[in-house]
Chains A and B, each alone.
Chain A
Amino acid sequence: MGRLPLEGLRVLEITVVWAGPYCGSFLADLGAEVIRVESTKTFVPLTRGASPRLTQAQIENLPLYSGGTPGHVPGERPFNRSPMFNSHARNKRSMTVNLLEPGGREIFDRLVSISDVLVENNPTETMEKLGVSYESLKAVKDDIIMLRMPAYGSDGPYRDYRAHGVHIEGVVGHTMLRGYEDTDPSYNTTVLMSDAAAGAQGAFAVLAALHHRKRTGQGQLVELGQAENVFPFLGEYYMDYLMNGRTHGPTGNRHPRALQNCYPCAPEGDNEDRWVAITVYDNEQWQALCETIGAPDLAADAELADAAARHARQAEIDPRIAAWTRAQSTADAMDTLQQAGVPAGAVMNQEDAFADPHVESRQFFQEAYQEDCGTHLYPGPLYKMSATPLSIRRGPVMFGQDNGYVYRELLGYTAAEYAAFEAAGHIGTDYAEGI
């Protein structure tokens, strides 16, 4: 196996929920040694699942992406079995230390002194309580890179405001843009794309800082406010406001200029929830669509040779498309339209994605084992590299799984010291009683 790009780089994570751990997963996939610094005395909800001692009732009441543990049962250590956590916890390590208890800080500092990067995404005041700041890290490791990912910023009027991704998306203007055309935002369900943006751009920020360090020898503090970070993803909407004073409301699945929607397909077995998404940008695609769905009258309509007219008359065109899609399976609708040159995609539930021949041919899913979960297919690295291929080298890390490696091998503590830390509660593979 070839060397991985970030081999030799050590990254510490004090990360919670999604944005921070997702950032770390990009670095871990690229070969960095990413060590989660966790605590037996603190459980931040929605990090390793909704709560440390999930009950069967709680699991069933949670959305599947959060409550869908193996076999849909909590198991002995539910915090090692959360799909929310395990989906991004591959290729990482985990150690435990209680920073605010005697001895904790010294252990942590020793780890910092041999690390390159620390990533965190806690509320600003939480980090202050922990006493972890860029200055405190730099005192231990002069060229450390620290990435902070607060919701809004370490200063400013929202400094300590609490948010999940879904709230950040409201603030930054995304929530207002999504939703059914005929409903107000109170009908919007939860999406969490700002976490995805923070994870990816957080990883980019770390890599940029490493480039700077390589060139100058200098570490630095990088601050990524999650709302600010995702704002550029909506840049054209901001420009429209500046240029034309225009604000936008929800547009359903419609496109601002092209003919586009999500159309019903034929039931498959007892599953009636089958859909295909279609976009028609230009005349060539429009003619191909009309031919495919058997609508020569639409093809011949001279006015509809114009994208703006198709967009304006979509209410009249949609039923014609739907009449055709209702007789197709999602895969047939997609393949037939794509072969005619029309952008179309089957709306794929999880089962569809695992069965899809293209996804399969690209080997996107990779098998991984973890003691508390067994062997399963996991979503793998997000891109292919020809000279340094990435893979899931190690299953999702269990709580405290690497205490032995970190304390004994990396930090050089003796067996006696290790036992003492274990007795003091720093080292553990389960949360303390009452957590």
Chain B
Amino acid sequence: MPSGALTGLKVLDFTHYVSGPYCAKLLADYGADVIKVEPPAGDGARRIGPFPDDVSHPEKSGLFLHLNTNKRGVVIDLKQPDAAGIVERLTSWADIVIESYRPGVADRLGVGYDRLSSLNPALIYTSISNFGQTGPYRDYRGSEVVFYGMGGEMHSTGLADREPLKLGGNVGLYQAGAVAAVATMGAALAGSFAPEAGDAPGQHIDVSILETQLGSVDRRQSALLAHQYTGKISQRPPSASSGGYPNAVYPTADGYLQINGSRMYWPRAVAMLGNTPELTAERWREPSAQGDVAMQEEFEGEHLLPWMLERTRAEAWQAAQGSRVLSGPINTMADLDVDPSFNARGVFAEGVHPIAGSLRYPGRPFIMNESPWQFRRTAPLLGQHTAEVLLELGYDDVEISALADSGAVSLLQAAEG
């Protein structure tokens, strides 16, 4: 079997919840050896669902299972004095550390950048935090809506006469994790392309979730620049289909389809509707037509909606694509689960977890032909690899028992295994 692209990279993962674990997951999924260090209570994501039948269980959280594939897991109580020696050996082993504690906490736990880089000067150490390691909001609390409200284009998302709207789910937290993975790999590859540059220097990378939103191409980067260029502020539109048509979500016989056949794409929309004489008429191509509300109402009411409503979502999508109209159906996860393209192209991956059982997972985000994504292992049970990793670090069975007795580490409970 071919090896993963990041084979040979050794990563110590002190992260929890979403952003940090997703960053480390990307590295693990593409071949890095990632050791996730959890406190005795486990990553907090273990207590967040979804759970099968909504019954909470630390080994059955869908969120945790998804975010921690291909990692090994150890439990170390960093507050115990005997943990320090283990951290030293892990740090010497690692190329990369990723942590997502609140600023200052890693130092207090003895896993801050200063200490670990003194043990291993070549270490790439990535910190992912709400607002960064410096600045007046350093210690502020965050949440998905707080980050999007402050950092993203939330103020111009939604409708003018209502409140601003966040994005769905936790997508901003995932985005921060993906950006952190770019930063981490950029640092790890430093010096690889300039022969005289030497080895990658050890360094501390400071990822602020807020800044990953301020620099997001979900309109924010360009909206910020447009403000610099014009002094103007973006506003929420009065309706979802304002500013050119057809460019919105429309109902079909059995669901919704989003299409964009507005402005420069107008000829495609007309083609989709059969190039009827009513729509090929000159007046629709006047420069003012796309901003004319009455014409929009006429177009949507008399031409587009009747066409949409006599087709299923699938039929309308296919017909739209036949005229190269930018389009896509509004799917639920039930639709996506049976999506012909996702299934044909192998987007899903089966995993068998010792406690959660057999499940389909979101698989590879992208295909690497020579160094493929591989599902080598499901998420670790709490403490599953503590003994295995300690043995690799040179501890013997007696020492491992003593560390467990002292409370510095937790081994997998037999009942859970």
Q: In this complex, what residue of B is CB-closest to A246? A: B50
Query: Interface code B141-156, partner A: CB below 8 Å = 1, 0 otherwise?
Result: 1111111111101111
Q: Kindly name the residue among A167, A218, A227, A373 whose own CB sees the greatest number of chain B CB atoms within 10 A.
A: A167
Q: Which residues of B contact A221 (CB under 8 A)?
A: 369
Flag if A193 contacts B175 (CB, 8 Å). yes
Flag if B201 contacts A388 (CB, 8 Å). yes
Flag if B366 contacts A262 (CB, 8 Å). no
- A135-192 contacts to B, CB under 8 A, are 152-153, 155-158, 160-164, 166-180, 184-192
Count contacts between A and B, CB distance < 8 Å.
563
B277 lies within 8 A of chain A by Cβ? no
Cβ-neighbour of B143 out of A72, A188, A279, A358 (below 8 A): A279
Flag if B217 contacts A158 (CB, 8 Å). no
A222 lies within 8 A of chain B by Cβ? yes
B166 lies within 8 A of chain A by Cβ? yes
Among B3-11, B396-404, B406-414, the one that faces the other chain is: B3-11
Flag if A214 contacts B189 (CB, 8 Å). yes
Among A61-69, A296-304, A399-407, A410-418, the one that faces the other chain is: A61-69
A212 with B370, Cβ < 8 A, contacts A233-B171, A234-B171, A358-B135 known: yes
Q: Which residues of B contact A275 (CB under 8 A)?
A: 149, 155, 163-164
Cβ-neighbour of B334 out of A216, A231, A241 (below 8 A): A241
Q: Which residues of A contact B191 (CB under 8 A)?
A: 3, 5
A291 lies within 8 A of chain B by Cβ? no
A252 lies within 8 A of chain B by Cβ? yes
Among A91-99, A102-110, A335-343, the one that faces the other chain is: A335-343
A187 with B240, Cβ < 8 A, contacts A5-B200, A83-B226, A382-B179 known: yes
Flag if A199 contacts B217 (CB, 8 Å). yes
Flag if B331 contacts A338 (CB, 8 Å). no
Interface residues on B, range: 35 or more
A377 lies within 8 A of chain B by Cβ? yes
Flag if B224 contacts A168 (CB, 8 Å). no
Flag if A208 contacts B5 (CB, 8 Å). yes
A223 lies within 8 A of chain B by Cβ? yes
A319 lies within 8 A of chain B by Cβ? no
Flag if A241 contacts B244 (CB, 8 Å). no
Q: Which residues of A contact B182 (CB under 8 A)?
A: 26, 30, 200, 203-204, 207
Cβ-neighbour of A171 out of B136, B169, B328 (below 8 A): B328
- B1-33 contacts to A, CB under 8 A, are 5-9, 22, 26, 30
Flag if B264 contacts A233 (CB, 8 Å). no
A207 with B226, Cβ < 8 A, contacts A63-B234, A244-B50 known: no
B105 lies within 8 A of chain A by Cβ? no
Count, chain A residues at interface, CB 8 A: 177
Bound together, the chains give a CA A131 to CA B340 distance in angstroms of 28
Q: In this complex, what residue of A is CB-closest to B174? A: A233
Bound together, the chains give a CA A205 to CA B264 distance in angstroms of 33
- B193-230 contacts to A, CB under 8 A, are 193-195, 197, 200-208, 210-212, 214-230
Flag if A156 contacts B186 (CB, 8 Å). no
Flag if A262 contacts B205 (CB, 8 Å). no
Q: Which residues of A contact B51 (CB under 8 A)?
A: 243
Q: In this complex, what residue of B is CB-closest to A256? A: B49
A228 lies within 8 A of chain B by Cβ? yes
Flag if B137 contacts A237 (CB, 8 Å). no
B295 lies within 8 A of chain A by Cβ? no
- B162-180 contacts to A, CB under 8 A, are 162-172, 174-175, 178-180
A171 with B145, Cβ < 8 A, contacts A354-B224, A388-B201 known: no
Q: Which residues of A contact B170 (CB under 8 A)?
A: 233, 236
Flag if B333 contacts A196 (CB, 8 Å). no
**B132 vs chain A, min Cβ distance (A):** 6
21 contacts between A and B (CB under 8 A): A8-B193, A65-B234, A156-B345, A160-B321, A161-B321, A162-B321, A164-B326, A171-B329, A176-B330, A184-B251, A188-B249, A191-B157, A191-B218, A211-B6, A229-B365, A238-B337, A239-B359, A242-B337, A276-B149, A348-B155, A350-B226
CB-CB nearest 7 A-B residue pairs:
A68-B226, A239-B62, A177-B168, A167-B328, A8-B193, A350-B227, A345-B146
